[in-house]
Amino acid sequence: MKRRFDLSTIGSCSEIRACRGPEVLSLLNEVDPISGKESVQHPDAYPKEYRKRVENLSRNFIWRRITGDITIDFLEAAVERMFTPDEVSGVVVLAKLKELKHRIVDLFLYAKETGRNQWN
């Protein structure tokens, strides 16, 4: 018999398995979109704070999951909202942001572990 998931034991939304917090954090660290010249010169002005960004993404994801409205457009927009407009224009490497969006969409919609892999 499957053990039920106990919400009282979690400390944040990113710990909910459906949010895939550890995987998203791993992708953020691997792709490292905040690696532009300005972020290197002024690390205090542009902190990466990837854990906090994953938590915000997870909160947005939970609401959309409840309403059953997880789409590619939503996931791409949620990834973009992880960064402020100032960060996107100054310290986020746009090619890396595009790669991150692609990989997160793949993680949530097409990875085998989700049970939604329509290509196999």
Structure confidence by residue, pLDDT tens digits, 23-59: 988 899 999 998 866 777 777 777 888 889 998 888 8
Residues 72-115: pLDDT tens digits? 999 999 999 999 998 888 889 999 999 999 999 999 888 765 44
The pLDDT mean for the chain works out to 81
Which of helix, strand or coil describes residue 34? strand
Helices 50-67 & 72-80 angle (0-180, nearest 10): 150
Helix (H) or strand (E) holding 47: none
Give the global pTM.
0.77
pLDDT computed for residue 11 by the predictor: 65
State whether the Cα torsion 12-31-60-72 is positive or negative: negative
